[in-house]
């Protein structure tokens, strides 16, 4: 059951990653406005949104890596300094 949930989350993340990546490519090619459809909402983004899109993209990629690791039985370890 948890594997189904993780696979659903991975699929949803991958769709958003693709949509944001396509927007970044389009905006980088010189167009002024791009209609971004992530599957959850539709937004018009401009070249001024490139930094926010890059941050969101990196966050989704990191989140997707965690989901993939959990799905494949590899845990995610967060190291913290000893007190």
pLDDT tens digit string along 6-24?
A: 999 999 999 999 999 999 9
79 assigned to some structural domain: no
Residue 62 or 1, more confident:
62
Q: Which tops the pLDDT comparison, 76 or 27?
A: 27
Q: How high is the pLDDT of residue 59?
A: 96
Q: CA 53, CA 76: separation in Å to the nearest integer?
A: 25
Start-end of H helices in the chain: 2-28, 50-71
Assess if residue 57 is contained within a domain: yes
Count of structural domains within the chain: 1
Domain assignment of residue 8, given as a range:
2-71
Is 82 inside a domain boundary?
no
| CB neighbour list of residue 56: distance below 8 Å, 6 or more residues apart | 20
**Whether this model's pTM surpasses 0.85:** no
For the segment 19-66, what is each residue's pLDDT rounded down to a tens digit? 999 999 999 999 999 999 987 889 999 999 999 999 999 999 999 999
Would you say residue 65 lies in a domain? yes
């Amino acid at each position: 059951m948890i594997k189904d949930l993780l696979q659903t989350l991975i699929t949803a993340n991958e769709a958003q990653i693709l949509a944001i990546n396509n927007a970044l490519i389009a905006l980088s090619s010189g167009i002024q406005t791009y209609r971004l459809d992530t599957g959850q909402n539709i937004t018009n983004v401009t070249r001024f949104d490139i930094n926010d899109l890059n941050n969101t993209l990196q966050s989704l990629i990191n989140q997707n890596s965690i989901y993939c690791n959990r799905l494949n039985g590899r845990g995610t370890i967060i190291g913290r300094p000893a007190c």
